[in-house]
Amino acid sequence: MEFTVSTDDRLDVVDVTDRVVGAVPENADTGTLTVFVEHTTAGVVINEAEPRLLDDVRAFLDGLVPDEGWNHDRIDDNADSHLRALLLGPSTTVPVVDGSLALGRWQSVLVIDCDGPRERTVRVGYTNASTER
């Protein structure tokens, strides 16, 4: 299945944990859930969705990559967005145990848009462990 995320800022973090939990199939047993963003300037990670930490994440990514001076800027002026996104990666995997996501107490699934505001598409797929044997 898939869902869309609307972002509000150029660099924005959206907690999608509830939507990912809702994407676990009813017949899920034990396996993995893959969460994937189909974009080159956004990423998905697992971390704590504490508001001040999310401010820190934005400041960290902003400071880590200079905004200007990249070759790709001659094409569409968003090299900094691509470079921030490649540090994050386009997917993450969460274990599913007895039909439930096995996230830790403080873990949330976060979509990080590095070139917003935009609509982002998030794909979620369940793989049953028994089919992998």
Q: Which residues sit at the interface with Zn ion, rule CB under 5 A?
A: 76, 78
Q: Which is nearer to Zn ion, 78 or 108 (CB)?
A: 78
Q: Residue 75: in which H helix or E strand, if any?
A: helix 73-76
Quote the least distance from Cβ 78 to Zn ion, whole Å. 4
Nearest distance in Å: CB 124, Zn ion: 25
**Are 115 and 42 spatial neighbours (Cβ–Cβ below 8 Å)?**
yes
DSSP 38-61: --SSEEEEEE---HHHHHHHHHHH
Shortest distance, position 99 Cβ to Zn ion, whole Å: 40
Residue among 4 and 72 whose Cβ is closer to Zn ion: 72
* Nearest distance in Å: CB 77, Zn ion: 8
Q: Whose Cβ is closer to Zn ion: residue 31's or residue 43's? A: 43
The residue among 41 and 92 lying less far from Zn ion, judged by its C-beta, is: 41
> In 1-133, where do the E strands start and end?
2-6, 12-15, 31-37, 42-47, 91-97, 100-101, 108-113, 119-128
